[in-house]
A and B are shown apart, each in its own frame.
Chain A
């Protein structure tokens, strides 16, 4: 029987391979009851071990006001030594929203994303070779991924692409909180008016000396005018933070957040435990 499988696998095309049962280490029972869980687990985690873990928190609003701009926060600060964090939405036409590598940053990212319909929003944190997965079901009526960017209504939308606004706050224990917004249409390529994907695909956050603090890969479901909240641990909180970005057409984005003068209210939120 096993030999037949091997032979079959050898001759089957790649898409069929994906459907064949393989050694997936993910639990088969999905707490969110999504029929897509197994396929997505295989895609994102391969045969690495996977556990559902409440310490990976996904925060979404109780009511979605704009399906093209759904605020989401992912917080895995309860788990230490996280290598990377990915966010995906099962029922989106493009599921992968972002990957965060918190080099010298908390495993926390807040952002806004598009949803096409009600869907699980999941975050998975890779720590010590194990994927820790958390998520919530987001209730929403649809259309966020197939609607054109708001900026496209203006004929001179391109003039603002790459413009960046933001601020930095100093927090307890030499942590810094960065909030910023990059002007970009973030076309999914799924709107009939804008059939070509055009989006920011990379955002690197560094300290003033160029040492990496956090790096992000961002994908089409990320909202127009990407807006982010990150918790950073720079060597020196009196120095500015540098943001370097790139879109999939090669446009370079460079910005610098001035050292904070303000103290935010949160106490020691950056600590992992």
Chain B
């Protein structure tokens, strides 16, 4: 995300010397411009770009939330990089006037976790499965992020949460946060319910107006988790990607997307289509308004096809 000031400087530079503009953008120290939007009593959200991870957005594509409490600031997800985490910590301290008391990581994907490095690891909490996922994939994610987001990632390393989170309510001087340990988007997904405001933070179990990602998905488990989230009486739902809204649109849309792509991919597979053919199949008309629909569908074909080939095709060799 390029700040407004950088954009102005860029525009001025472009007017003066168009060929130098891009170079100046690179030469300038990068800075995230986090814009908190109030979403309830002592609650703010910083919206991620509805985009894929690119150098232009510095990987800042996931939603992040900050809550105020008597015990300190509570941060939900930490963003894609060390710099993002540092900016987030500064913002949380400014909004609440208190140091950070807790950082929750909803799952192990890179756009949500690497900012945790800016916080005391003893304050960073996640279910055991999230920590295991980070142990297994964290370094690979960091490498991939460096290749795409380049200098935005400077100094970023995997830091494991030291607080293993269970189902018990956490009480921050009267502000009670109820963790829900679920799965489906990944093997371990955390949703959080703020009892004071009735806001439900769904992490990447819910996407809104942006196509869900499936690199580590288990669709059956995901649907079960969506049903569980739908059963919680919330006044506002904050998805991992997309706008916060009252009502269950994010949950319904996420479920509809998963149903649609699973049907298309399985049907294509059963009909003998090659994955390169499946990727080009039409998507339902309603997905036209969903950001990155084709992009994520093409990714999902690559996630699910090899699994279908391995599990659904009969053995045909004559190996004794």
Which A residues form the contact surface with B (CB < 8 A)?
A: 59-66, 69, 71-73, 110, 141-142, 162-167, 169, 177, 179-181, 225, 227, 229, 243, 253-258, 262, 264-265
Contact = CB atoms under 8 A, between A and B. Distances in A.
Most chain A CB neighbours (cut-off 10 Å) among B148, B302, B305: B302
Contacts of A265: 271, 273
Interface stretch (B5-13, B127-135, B233-241, B307-315): B307-315
B295 interface: yes
Contact of A167 (B272, B277, B310): B272
Given A63-B299, A69-B306, A165 B314 contact: yes
A61 B318 contact: no
B272 A179 contact: yes
Nearest to A243: B316
A64 B298 CA distance: 9
Contacts of B319: 162-164, 253-254
Interface string B94-129: 000000000000000000000000000000000000
Nearest to A264: B272
Interface residues of B, number: 32
B317 A62 contact: no
Contacts of B315: 163-165
Nearest to B270: A262
Contacts of A258: 316
A138 to B, nearest CB: 12
Contacts of A65: 215, 299, 302-303
Nearest to B313: A165
Given A71-B274, A164-B317, 17 more contacts: A63-B52, A64-B302, A65-B299, A71-B301, A71-B302, A73-B277, A162-B317, A163-B317, A165-B309, A165-B314, A179-B272, A180-B313, A181-B310, A227-B306, A229-B274, A257-B316, A264-B273
B216 to A, nearest CB: 12
B313 A63 contact: no
6 contacts: A61-B301, A61-B302, A65-B215, A69-B306, A166-B314, A177-B272
Contacts of A179: 272, 274, 309, 313
A65 B313 CA distance: 23
A73 B276 contact: yes
B90 interface: no
Contacts of A71: 274-276, 279, 301-302, 305
A258 B317 CA distance: 11
A71 B301 CA distance: 10
Nearest to B303: A65
Contacts of A180: 313, 316
The 5 A-B pairs with the shortest beta carbon distances in the complex, nearest first, are: A165-B313, A164-B317, A65-B302, A73-B276, A169-B272
Contact of A59 (B276, B295, B299): B276
Most chain B CB neighbours (cut-off 10 Å) among A71, A142, A227: A71
Contacts of A164: 315-317, 319
Contact of B317 (A73, A229, A253): A253
B274 A169 contact: no
B242 to A, nearest CB: 20
B147 interface: yes
A142 B270 CA distance: 32
A180 B312 CA distance: 11
Given A227-B309, A255-B318, A265-B271, A141 B276 contact: no
A69 B272 contact: no
Given A63-B295, A65-B215, A110 B316 contact: no
A55 B129 CA distance: 49
Nearest to B311: A165
